Each structure stands twice: as C-alpha cells, then as structure tokens.
Structure 1
Amino acid sequence: MRAAIIRNLEQVVSSQVVIVGGGVIGSSIAYFLRAADPTVSVTVFERDPSYARSSSALSAASIRQQFSTPLSIQMSLFGIEFLRGIGERLEVNGSRPSIDLHEGGYLFLATEAGDATLRENHALQTSLGADIELMARDALQAKFPWLNVEDLESGAYGRSGEGWFDGYGLVQALRKKAQSLGARYVAADVTGVVRSGRKVTHVIASDGERHACDTLVNAAGAWARKLAEMMDIDIPVYARRRSIFNVSSPARLTACPLLIDPSGVYFRPEGNTYITGTSPGAENDPNDLPLDEVDHAIFDDVIWPTLAHRVPGFEALRVENCWSGYYEYNVLDQNAIIGYHPAIDNCVFANGFSGHGLQQGPATGRGVSELILNGRYTTLDLSSLDWSRVLENRPIVEKNVV
C-alpha cells in the first residue's frame, strides 16, 4: 500500500541536498554549503518556522571551551570566533544581525574531590588556546566576594571566549543568510523516506511533495530518532526535557559569570535577573516528557537550596518565569554523532549534541558541508564523532557534562 501511495504522488521536487531540521545545526549546514558552493541545491525542512518548540530558541544559549576532550574544545573555539564575527559574516542586504553576545565567562567550581580533574582539564584547555584561569579558593573569594567558598578547593574561570547570547537570534540569522544564498526552506515535516538499496532517493513531506535528493542530512534535533527509524537506523538519541527558571533577587552580583556548581546546578545573569537550571538524576530523566510542563520540584528540592548555599544573597529568590526545552540526548556518551552511517551511502547524521548544539553548530555546519562537498574534512577533523564509536560501543568520556 505504501508503494502505491508513493507511485500516486504527482509532484516531485529535485534537490541535491535535503536537510531535515532547520534549527542551528541544520541552518548552519545549509549556510556553509551554499557559501562554499552556490551551485549546490539545498532544501531545508523545518516543520515549525516559529521555532516555538526548538531547542535553539529554548536553551540557556551559552558557549564555553571548558570541556575535557580536545575536539569539543576546538569546536567551541571556532564557535566563539564565528559568533564574534556574526554581524559581518551573516549580513544580508546591508542588515547585520546581532546576537547580544556577552563574554562573561564560565566559572566551574570544584571541591577537594574534583580539584585534580579541574586542573587536568585546565591544562588541556589552555594547551589548545583557551583563555581559562585556574583560581585557588582565596582568589575566588577576592574576585567574587558574593560567593561562598568554604567547601571549595578551586575554580576555573573563562576570562574571554566564553559566555552567553541570543539563541533565537542565532538561528534566525543563520536561516536568513542561508536563504539569501539560495537555500530553500519548506514549512513541512518529513513523513517518509524512500530507499533504493544503500541510498535514499526521495523524502516525502507532509504537504504531499516528494523530494529527490543526492544527500539527506538528519539534523532533526530531539526528533532525530523518528527520521532515523524511517531508514531502519537505531540512533541512541532521545528527547530529554530540561527546565529553566528565570529568577530575581535583591542581590546584585558584580562580575557574575555563568557559574557551574559542583552539584551541576548552574546560573547566569539575564539582564537584571538570572537564569538557572540543572539536569535531573538518571532515575528522574525519562524520554519525551511534554514541554508544556515544568519540573518545579527540581527547583524547590535541588536548585534553590544549592543557590542559597553557594550565594548567600540568593536566599531570597523569586521565580519570574520558567519554561522547558529538549536536549537531543545521546545516551551513549552525551556527545554528537556526526557523519555517514555505514548502512546508507548518502545520509549524513548530525545529532545528539546533548545541550552543546548551539555552541558546536558553526563547527558542525562547516564540517558537514566539507564532508558532503569534498568527501572528507578539510579544516577540523570531526571523524572521532562518527558512527563507528556508536556501533562499537566506544563512548567518548566527557567529564564536563552540564
């Protein structure tokens, strides 16, 4: 019956590259493809052009180099370079976008138990060119007098190259630039994939169109698994809900960075207020929870007590707003899966960023475009993130998962 439906579809639209997902990852790929080769036809499927439920728009929108693996550090070093030059790079018809980039830094805190790991990570980060300062307890207290350091041993502070920005503004800037370069955006979902042997030949859209493609890119974010299943691929990426709280406080914190408590609770400035959140424990982190619900219990039981301990001025907090967004969570190792699947010759995956998609989007877009156009990476080698580690159960251990 499905074959009959496909035969009866009247309209066929040709496209050399079809990208499913028009968030930061998909739009970055579209931009880099068209910028590198204007002859390549690019079609991007984004079912919700408002991005109301997009991770790109709902995240805490930040960037850091404080990872424990060289490739993640290098991807974010390119990311900050890209964000700093976004006005010129993504200019359209004389209009330069702004994403309100604040290089306020990350501050990772460590107790005695975590001090050795923090120092090891710091050595790697600085060896690759990241501007991170390792600080002892007394130095932390001097620079951040509002901080309770009694149970701390050290901290690592990003003096430059780390901070936060407007995630919605970034995805819109990438989308508009990609469109100005000739990428076509279709406001529809992909409901079917047609294969012939080892290749995808067409995708079927919810609007009834059948789109031919030479290359299919899965950049569907939290919905990547649905598209993979259409190709009989099992990808270990699931939608995991993360709740974010916008809080106000009478306290005014000078020189406030994005702070990561040893517990995993984070907060950062947002105008005159603060954004805060944390990841739930594994036992309270099921897949596909509804986004229209917020985990208020995690604020009451975990976040608020932690903030009140770490910043005494936060004992009086008021929740002004809250929302939830999805992590496209790679359950293997919380790192991205980027590259061709060995069972399909012409499908590239760019999924499972687990909260790092905004900051790794520029490097991913550049890398995937190179892979499609040249058959290999020509700048930063992303091959360690390919499918082989997934299929062979070789997780990449990232110590700084937030």
Structure 2
Amino acid sequence: MQAPSKTSYDVVIVGGAMYGSSIAWWLTEQAGFDGSVLVVERDPTYEFCSTSHTNSCIRQQFSAPINIQISQFGAEFIKNFRSFMGGDERVPDITLQSFGYLYLADNEGFAATLKDAQQVQSKLGSGTMHLTRDEIQERYPFYNLEDILAGNHNLVDEGYFDGNTIFDWWKRSARERGVEYAHNEVVSMTQAPSGLVTSVTLATGEEISCGTVVNCSGPRAVETSRMAGIEVPIEPRKRYTFIFRSEEPLGHVLPLTINPSGVHMRSDGPYFMAGCPPEDDHAVAYDDFEMDHAIWEDHIWPAVAYRVPHFERAKVINSWAGHYAYNTLDQNAIVGPHPEVTNFIFANGFSGHGFQQSPAIGRGVAEWIASGAYQSIDMSPFGYDRVIENRKFVEKAVI
C-alpha cells in the first residue's frame, strides 16, 4: 500500500473502479472546478471488483424515463468516445454492437407491461418495437416460441460495448489531469458535530482531510457508509456467466434474449454468453466468487436449448462468478448527497446496471460536487431520501 502525496484533498473518492474513475474524470471536465481529487482503491488489480466481471451491455429498454435518458446518453458517449475524451488520437473508437435486447413475454400481463414500456421508450426517441410472436419468428426463425405471446426489441443503440477500455481511459486520463490514485483503504472517518465528514483514515495510518467524500465502493458500499454512521441497503449478490459454443452453427447474431425464466443469452463474438441469478439469491461474502457449475446443467442449458434448439449440443468454454452491488430496496441506484451528512455522496447500488449508467451518472455526480446541482440529467429521483422513507423507485425492467 502507498500513502497519498498530501494530507488534504477537496474530494476523496472511496473506490477506483468504474464509478470512482468515471466521477474522477468527469470532475476534470467541470468548468470552474480546480479542486484536488484523491481516489483510494484497495485493489489496484481490480481482479475481484464488479467492473472486472461485467458483461458490458447497454439497453434503453427501461420503464422509468430517467433510466432511458441515462442509457441514451451512455450510447452517445460510447459512440463518440474519442470526441468526449478531447479528440485525443491515442483514444480508440468504441463500437456499440447493436444487436439489441429481446424481452419475451409468456403471459398477457407481462406482454401488456412490455407494450406500456415500449410506448414510454418511443416517446423519448427509442427505437424499441413491440412485436407479436409471429413478427419475432419472422425476424429470428431459430427461436422456439411456442410459449411466447409477444416481445420487445430494439436494434438502435442497444447491445454490447467494450466498457473496460472506457474504464482504462477514464483512469489514465484522470491521472494525466492531476487526479491522484492511491493503493490504500479507507478504514474510518471523522465527523464534525454537524455530521459532516472532515477526514478519512487510511489503512496505512494517515489521516486525510477532505471537503467531500464519494462512496464508490461497489458491493462494499455499506462498509464505507457505516464509517459515516449511514446505512445503505446494498449487499453483494452473486451472478453467474457462462461462455459456450454451439456445435450446430446458428448463422445469425443472437440478440440479448431475456427468457421469462430469468435466463438471458446473447452472441459473444463467435460464441455465446448466458447467465442468470441463482435460485437462492442471497447476500454472499465479499470474497466469495466460487462457481456453481450445476447451474449450467440444471437451469441455464435446459432454458437456452428450449428457446434455441440449435443449442441442444452446446459446450461451455469459460465461466465466472461476479457480484452485483444489489440494492435490496428497489434494485436501482442510490445517487447524490446524504440529506444530513451533506458532503457524503453516494454512487451505489446499481444492481447490474452500473456499466451502462456510468457515463451519465458519473457526469451527474461530478456536476453536483462542482456546482451543488445536477446540470444535465436530474438524478434526484435516485436520492437517499427514498431509503429513509422506505420508498421504492419503480422500475419494471430489472434483469
């Protein structure tokens, strides 16, 4: 571990993965902000963070307008990445492979929910189509749709992107612009009588004064918030991913298909990717990344082989377990300042939406820190107030 170069910073960000680096970089973009920024990261290899285990997809198919708008900006950012990064010729272009998400409904109630969501998305400019079973079959004849009534699909700005390259460049560019990264760990915080955080103490013993603290601790968010006497309903939940090949060629790009059972699958280069939550979806230890290979045999393979008969002969070639930073209240982000500890800022609880939402939410948090208000998209619906009030943010399209 290493000590920071100074004993005082305007902003201390706890956690340097996707969100810590997004916010750090966006702070360097804020007109009039020239404060010092320290990012404290406990594992600079990022081996076990959620960022390293992401499936790196983006969708506009949400039911809440703010989530749609956040993803629309995310798509704009991905497609114009070099431009957003100042036209730096070192920065690669990022391709958004728009094979789309395909939500499948096997009952009238969910079909109606999809149709309502499509109308909300369409009003905001999304290309989502509400399709009958026959229309899906015509477009994708390889599906078995005997149990399906309808579906939603969007081939515009919805699919896979290389999020890790974005993360790497946020981190690199932030450092070049003066943001300091320290391999260390925040172990406690000191608060004034007003409740404001005045300093953080590091594992190596240094006490670092700060003006603002940002919680970007991923699945460990509650460990960080408790240092300021704050509870957040966030815990690590395990998610499994399997890469497989089909012995019978599909001959077509597979949209990210969400089955009614909860199993999802998509094309992954020459192979395919599939995943699902465990049947017993509970909190796990922060260091528990053990695979459960029986999930493939018992749950995933039967579902993908039923939906796509070409996958009857499928072979797993890679697999891993990662953690969602799971918000047990409503599976949506908690963003912005605490109402009383006003210099403690949340960027937590994305519950699987984190990578795709990081451009817009990173920008929004940076705007708040720099100016005291959201300038681009109003993130206040994600505020901590709803945790205090036990009031859920309603989003019907959660995977």
Q: TM-score range by the shorter chain?
A: over 0.9
Structure 1 residue corresponding to 2:171, chosen from 165, 170, 175 = 175
Secondary structure, aligned partner of 1:298: helix
Structure 2 residue corresponding to 1:70, chosen from 65, 68, 72 = 65
Deviations 1:158-208 (A, max 9, x none): 111101122322211211121122211111111111111221111112233
Percent pairwise identity: 41
Structure 1: distance between partners of 2:114 and 2:319:
31
Structure 2 residue corresponding to 1:211, chosen from 188, 208, 223 = 208
Secondary structure, aligned partner of 2:171: helix
Structure 1 residue corresponding to 2:22, chosen from 28, 32, 44 = 28
**Number of the residue aligned with 1:4:** none
Secondary structure, aligned partner of 2:7: strand
Secondary structure, aligned partner of 2:116: helix
Structure 2: distance between partners of 1:266 and 1:140:
17
**Number of the residue aligned with 2:307:** 310
Q: Which amino acid aligns with 2:346?
A: F
Structure 2: distance between partners of 1:112 and 1:309:
18
Structure 1: distance between partners of 2:7 and 2:130:
55
Structure 2: distance between partners of 1:99 and 1:328:
26
Structure 1 residue corresponding to 2:340, chosen from 343, 349, 357 = 343
The reply on whether 1:193 has 2:189 as its aligned counterpart is: yes
Structure 1: distance between partners of 2:97 and 2:11:
35
TM-score normalised by structure 2 residue count = 0.94
Choose 90-99 or 185-194, whichever is displaced more: 90-99
Whether the 8 Å contact between 1:327 and 1:355 is mirrored in structure 2 is yes
Whether the 8 Å contact between 2:235 and 2:283 is mirrored in structure 1 is no
Structure 1: distance between partners of 2:4 and 2:65:
49
Residues 323-342 of structure 1 mapped to structure 2, 5 A cutoff? 323-342=320-339
Secondary structure, aligned partner of 2:381: helix
Structure 1: distance between partners of 2:289 and 2:336:
33
Structure 1 unmatched runs, 5+: 1-8
Structure 2 unmatched runs, 5+: none
**Number of the residue aligned with 2:44:** 49
Residue 372 of structure 1 deviates from its aligned partner by: 1.1
Structure 2: distance between partners of 1:330 and 1:362:
20
Choose 249-258 or 310-319, whichever is displaced more: 249-258
Structure 1: distance between partners of 2:275 and 2:253:
20
Q: Calculate the aligned-residue CA RMSD, in Å.
A: 1.8
Residue 96 of structure 1 deviates from its aligned partner by: 1.1
Structure 1 residue corresponding to 2:227, chosen from 217, 226, 230 = 230
Residue 91 of structure 1 deviates from its aligned partner by: 5.7
Residue 100 of structure 1 deviates from its aligned partner by: 4.4
Residue 334 of structure 1 deviates from its aligned partner by: 0.1
- 1:10–1:76 distance in 2 versus 1, CA, 3 Å: closer
The reply on whether 1:320 has 2:317 as its aligned counterpart is: yes
Structure 2: distance between partners of 1:345 and 1:290:
31
Q: How many residues align?
A: 393
The reply on whether 1:155 has 2:155 as its aligned counterpart is: no
- 1:253–1:302 distance in 2 versus 1, CA, 3 Å: farther
Structure 2: distance between partners of 1:92 and 1:42:
24
Deviations 1:227-281 (A, max 9, x none): 1111111110001111111111123241321111111111111111111101223
Secondary structure, aligned partner of 1:349: strand
Residue 318 of structure 1 deviates from its aligned partner by: 0.7
Structure 2: distance between partners of 1:98 and 1:222:
30
Residues 13-24 of structure 1 mapped to structure 2, 5 A cutoff? 13-24=7-18
Residue 398 of structure 1 deviates from its aligned partner by: 1.5
Q: Which amino acid aligns with 1:297?
A: A
Residue 154 of structure 1 deviates from its aligned partner by: 1.2
**Number of the residue aligned with 2:257:** 259
- 1:253–1:285 distance in 2 versus 1, CA, 3 Å: farther
Whether the 8 Å contact between 1:34 and 1:42 is mirrored in structure 2 is no
Residue 377 of structure 1 deviates from its aligned partner by: 1.0
**Number of the residue aligned with 1:88:** 83
TM-score normalised by structure 1 residue count = 0.94
Whether the 8 Å contact between 1:244 and 1:275 is mirrored in structure 2 is yes
Structure 2 residue corresponding to 1:293, chosen from 290, 295, 314 = 290
Structure 2: distance between partners of 1:243 and 1:10:
36
**Number of the residue aligned with 2:271:** 273
Which portions of structure 1, spanning 4 or more consecutive aligned residues, are displaced by more than 4 angstroms? 9-12
Structure 2: distance between partners of 1:289 and 1:222:
7
Deviations 1:82-128 (A, max 9, x none): 11111232368530134443122111111233211110111111111
Secondary structure, aligned partner of 1:73: helix
Residue 10 of structure 1 deviates from its aligned partner by: 12
Structure 2: distance between partners of 1:103 and 1:368:
28
Whether the 8 Å contact between 2:214 and 2:346 is mirrored in structure 1 is yes
Secondary structure, aligned partner of 2:236: strand
Q: Which amino acid aligns with 2:103?
A: F
